[in-house]
Amino acid sequence: MRVLVTGGTGLLGSSVVQEILNLGHECVVVQRNPSGIAGAREFLDDLTAPRNLDQWLAEVDAVVHLAAKVGIVGSYQEFYEANVKATQMLLESAKQHGVKRFIYASSPSVAHTGSALIGAGAQPARPASVRGAYSKTKALAELDVLAANTSSFSTVALRPHLVWGPGDTQLIERIVERARSGRLFYIDGGYALIDTTYVTNAGQAFACSLNASPEAFGKPHMVTNGEPRTVRETLMRITEAAGVPGPSRSVSFRIAMAAGRAAEFAWRNRTSEPPLTSFLVEQLATAHWFDIEQTKKLLNWSPTISIDEGFAQLRNWYSRL
């Protein structure tokens, strides 16, 4: 099978490419800047205004669409162009080029309206209710992707939750950085139970979905390690692996929320991300863990790296630095 991966750089992207190659497929990647992924043929293009789409979509059997605009910086229009428009364009072109499978990397935030998620399944995306341009546009795109599912063009959405692993510059490195400078704290003791996903497991979920059972298509699926941990333990394990001091104090939810809002306000005209956002506070203070049995069954997938093995890998990685 020839598989096109968009957004093949980054922690998740490189793992997805690696796992697709491991399954013996041929891999093509398209992105804006050269990345040099071993074993994959690389095309340079901009998904919001593609110039040589016919080239990189030629003879492709499946598309794994990871590319997206993330974070909170930028106008709604920018998010819409990158996340909704580009996805619609890709869907339409893939169909025209005879692609059989379309696998979309979505986000748990497309259905999360703030309340605790406890053993939840993948609820339908709710673009009108979710907060922030990222979540809204990812939700709209997910609905488009799933609506395009037909018997000849199978589409599916995967929602990996908090992907991490060695070399992660997003989640892990930010936590470690804050811990190093003594700015890492718990919210209300950090007892909220959260799911995370070790990167290899997430990569394998995408690779497996190329051969998912027919009932898997047209639906969103949660991808996690299936081993929720408290925020408290997760932060302790990460900082311990990195050899930095763990969080030393706890602040109340209300104070953290106020600080998050204040930071969002202060950063409203800057181009960098604020150090704290109300969304992040909510994520750190609210349970969100999922029932992934359905995902495992329908994708013929299950996590191969346990969370404890993941932490051990992280410790190794930091000890070699």
Partner 1 sequence: MHVLDTGAGQEKDLTLVCVHGNPTWSYLWRNFLVKAPSNIRVIALDHLGMGYSERLDSDRVLDQRVDDLTRLIRALEITTPIMSLAHDWGGPISLGWVEREIASGDHDIAGVILLNTAVHQPKEFKNPAVIRLARARGLLAPVTEYTQGFVFGTRILSGSKMSREVAAGFRAPYRKRESRKAIHGFVADIPFEEDHVSRATLDEIALNLNLLSQTPVLMCWGPNDPVFSDIYLRDLKSRIPHAEVHRYEGASHLVSEDAPDLVSDVFHWIASPTGPNVDSSGDFDNSMVDFGEQMKKQAIHRPNVVGLTAMNEHRSVTWRELQSQTEFSMRYLSEEGVTAGDRVAFLVPPGPLLIPLIYATWNLGAAVVLADSGLGLRGMFRALRGAHIDHVVGIPRAWPLMRGLQIPGSRISTKELDRASERGQSRAVVDAATNYEFPSNDLGAVVFTSGSTGPAKGVQYSRGHIARTVAALQSQYSINSHDVIIAAFAPWAVFGPALGIASVLPDMNPGKPSSLTYRALNESVVRAGGTLLWASPAALTNVLDTVPERENADWSGIRLILSAGAPVPKSLLKRLAELIPSASIRTPYGMTEALPLSEISLAEILSSDEDHGVLVGKGLPGVDIKIAPWSDPNHLTNDAGLMGEIVVRAPHMKNSYNNLAFTERMSSQFLGWHRTGDVGHLDADGALWIEGRKSHVITTPMGVITPVPVEQRVESLDFVRQAACVGVGPKDASVVVIVYIESDQGRKLSQLQREDRVREVAGTQIAAILLVKSLPTDIRHNAKLNREEISRWASKKLAGSA
Annotated active-site positions, please? 134
147 CB-near residues (< 8 Å, 6+ apart):
none
What is the C-alpha separation between 241 and 261, in angstroms, rounded? 31
Which of residues 81 and 227 has its CB atom nearest to partner 1 in the complex? 227
Which of residues 21 and 251 has its CB atom nearest to partner 1 in the complex? 251
Indicate whether 286 belongs to the interface with partner 1 (CB under 8 A). yes
State the minimum distance, in angstroms, from the CB of residue 135 to partner 1.
16
Question: Of residues 26, 42, 45, 240, which one binds partner 1 by CB under 8 A?
Answer: 240
Q: How many residues bind partner 1 (CB under 8 A)?
A: 30
Give the dihedral of Cα atoms 79, 205, 98, 56; nearest 10 deg: 60
Q: At 214, give phi and psi (nearest 5°).
A: -55, -35
State the minimum distance, in angstroms, from the CB of residue 172 to partner 1.
17
Indicate whether 308 belongs to the interface with partner 1 (CB under 8 A). yes
Indicate whether 55 belongs to the interface with partner 1 (CB under 8 A). no
State the minimum distance, in angstroms, from the CB of residue 231 to partner 1.
8
Residue 136: CB atoms within 10 A of its CB come to: 23
11 CB-near residues (< 8 Å, 6+ apart):
163, 164, 165, 167, 168, 169, 170, 199
Binding mask 181-200 for partner 1 (x = CB under 8 A): ------xx--xxx-------
Structure tokens at 302: 């299950």
What is the C-alpha separation between 123 and 92, in angstroms, rounded? 25
Question: Of residues 144, 264, 273, 291, which one binds partner 1 by CB under 8 A?
Answer: 291
Question: Of residues 76, 169, 293, 300, which one binds partner 1 by CB under 8 A?
Answer: 293
Which of residues 42 and 188 has its CB atom nearest to partner 1 in the complex? 188
What is the C-alpha separation between 207 and 225, in angstroms, rounded? 16
Question: Of residues 285, 298, 299, 314, which one binds partner 1 by CB under 8 A?
Answer: 285
* Residues 142-172 as b or e (16 or more Cβ within 10 Å = b): bbbbbebeeeebbbbbbbbbbbbbbebeebb
Question: Of residues 49, 118, 262, 266, which one binds partner 1 by CB under 8 A?
Answer: 118
Find the binding residues for partner 1 in span 209-238 (CB under 8 A): 226-231, 233, 236-237
Question: Of residues 185, 253, 317, 318, which one binds partner 1 by CB under 8 A?
Answer: 253
Binding mask 66-95 for partner 1 (x = CB under 8 A): ------------------------------
What is the C-alpha separation between 17 and 62, in angstroms, rounded? 13
**Which run of H or E residues covers position 127?**
none
State the minimum distance, in angstroms, from the CB of residue 242 to partner 1.
13
State the minimum distance, in angstroms, from the CB of residue 188 to partner 1.
5
State the minimum distance, in angstroms, from the CB of residue 284 to partner 1.
8
In whole angstroms, how far apart are CA 283 and each of 109, 257, 277? 10, 11, 10
State the minimum distance, in angstroms, from the CB of residue 196 to partner 1.
12
Q: Residue 30: exposed, middle, or buried by beta-carbon count in 10 A (0-12, 13-18, 19+)?
A: buried
Q: Give residues in contact with partner 1 (CB under 8 A).
A: 114-116, 118-119, 187-188, 191-193, 226-231, 233, 236-237, 240, 253, 282, 285-287, 289, 291-293, 308
